Structure 1
Amino acid sequence: MTLQLRVYVPPHPLIKHWLAVARDASTPSPLFRSAMTELGRWLTYEAVREWLPTKEAIVETPLAPCPVTFVDPEVPIVIVPILRAGLALLEGAQSTLPLASTYHIGFVRNEETLEPSCYLNKLPDRFAPQVRVLISEPMLATGGTSMAAMAELVNRGVDPAFVRIVSIVAAPPALQKLSVAYPNLTVFTAAIDEGLNNRGFIVPGLGDAGDRTFGT
């Protein structure tokens, strides 16, 4: 069977609403942060469907025994925000996955070459087998930072099939790079935009997600 990158754009009305708020250039920073939190929450909710490991059990209700399904606590779940903009989605993701561990990785982009360089890496030397990893990366533009983050994860034993990238806006160049390198990866995004400008920014996009989140 041929593997191919799976990209989902959930048609949830709340995702569409908060994306519209985030796109609006007149949205002030506090409201933009709220929009990012909500997008992180609802996109994570969609991303973990049929992804979280579960286990069957029997519990006693006040009236009778009942078969139930729990999230399996034996399989580790990890959130990896790509700094700095990935922090904007973290609160929403954590509210959906409160038992997940969080590991930070930071990249800065050279504005001339558009290539990323890593300035912070708090990933463990080795991840547990079968770990589920959710990457928060608001803008999948050139694909440089997401590709670099995936390389670090794979080098530490993560199976790309168990990785979900949560993004607000994605562009074809990033999706094409990820598809070639990691065809069994899955991306959840609020929108796929038409392309990039000559500075590597997504058009129409929503501007610099980090600057707008932190008011810088």
Structure 2
Amino acid sequence: MSEHLTVVSHPLVLHKLSLMREKTTSTAVFRQLLREISVLLAYEVTRELDMTTKRIETPIQEMDAPVLAGKKLALISILRAGNGLLDGVHDLIPSARVGFVGLYRDEETLQPVQYYFKVPTELDERLVIAVDPMLATGNSSVAAIDLLKEAGATNIRFLCLLAAPEGIARMKEAHPDVPIVTAAVDEKLNEQGYIVPGLGDAGDRMFGTK
């Protein structure tokens, strides 16, 4: 992938996202919609995977069939909200290795604080897809990518549901080599660092916490 930003404006993506934005949408429905939309976004973020061929035998004859090349992908969930996107992507790529980066945002400074890090081995030989529903200030996303690069990752893509212009700019400045795939770019951030119009706190809406 060459473009730094890809907005997936597929009708199903847009429709499901609109349902997720509504404040009356229940936790269960929100979580289901996120899982469904993540499959559609995963289709886009995996568009240019390396391919090779494998000799197989169909019921009719033998053929050289296209298959994925190289080591299995690594899916990295930026906790906790990343798990909602992770589920759908993992449905599509069940053989992928999975890792977790635990970050929370200090509400005073809006800076990320790390509390957990567990990722697959040989990241330097894998396509790494980091997932987090919201790219807001970009601070947590940048910190997570920093950690993944320190762990050896060189081919990273970032998948999110919503992005703010401020977060996109922050990511491009810090990690211009990491393409972003998202369903929508919203207007701005508010004073609390939430995306406007957004959909609120994705983690709270997914898990029913406040």
Q: TM-score range by the shorter chain?
A: over 0.9
- Tell me the distance in 2 between the aligned counterparts of 1:5 and 1:12: 18
Contact preservation (8 Å) 2:104, 2:114: yes
| CA displacement 1:137-196 (0-9 Å, x = unmatched) | 10000001100000001111111xx21111010011111111112112111101001110
Cα-Cα RMSD:
1.4
Matches within 5 A, 1:29-48: 29-48=27-46
Contact preservation (8 Å) 1:5, 1:184: no
Q: Which moved more, 1:10-19 or 1:31-40?
A: 10-19
Gap runs ≥5 in structure 1: none
Aligned residue number for residue 95 of structure 2? 99
Q: Structure 1 length normalisation: TM-score?
A: 0.92
1:117 Cα shift? 0.1
Contact preservation (8 Å) 1:5, 1:179: no
Q: Describe the SS at the equivalent of 2:39.
A: helix
Q: Does 1:69 align with 2:62?
A: no
Q: Does 1:137 align with 2:132?
A: yes
Which residue, 14, 20, 23 being the options, matches 2:21? 23
Which residue, 41, 51, 55 being the options, matches 1:54? 51
Contact preservation (8 Å) 1:36, 1:88: yes
Aligned length: 208
Contact preservation (8 Å) 2:77, 2:101: yes
Percent identity, aligned pairs only, is 38
- Tell me the distance in 2 between the aligned counterparts of 1:58 and 1:98: 22
Mark the CA change 1:129 to 1:110 in structure 2 (over 3 Å): closer, same or farther. Answer: closer
Gap runs ≥5 in structure 2: none
Contact preservation (8 Å) 2:123, 2:151: no
- Tell me the distance in 2 between the aligned counterparts of 1:129 and 1:42: 26
1:121 Cα shift? 1.1
Q: Describe the SS at the equivalent of 1:104.
A: strand
Q: Structure 2 length normalisation: TM-score?
A: 0.94
Report the AA paired with residue 61 of structure 2.
A
- Tell me the distance in 1 between the aligned counterparts of 2:23 and 2:122: 40
Which residue, 181, 184, 192 being the options, matches 2:174? 181
Report the AA paired with residue 172 of structure 2.
S
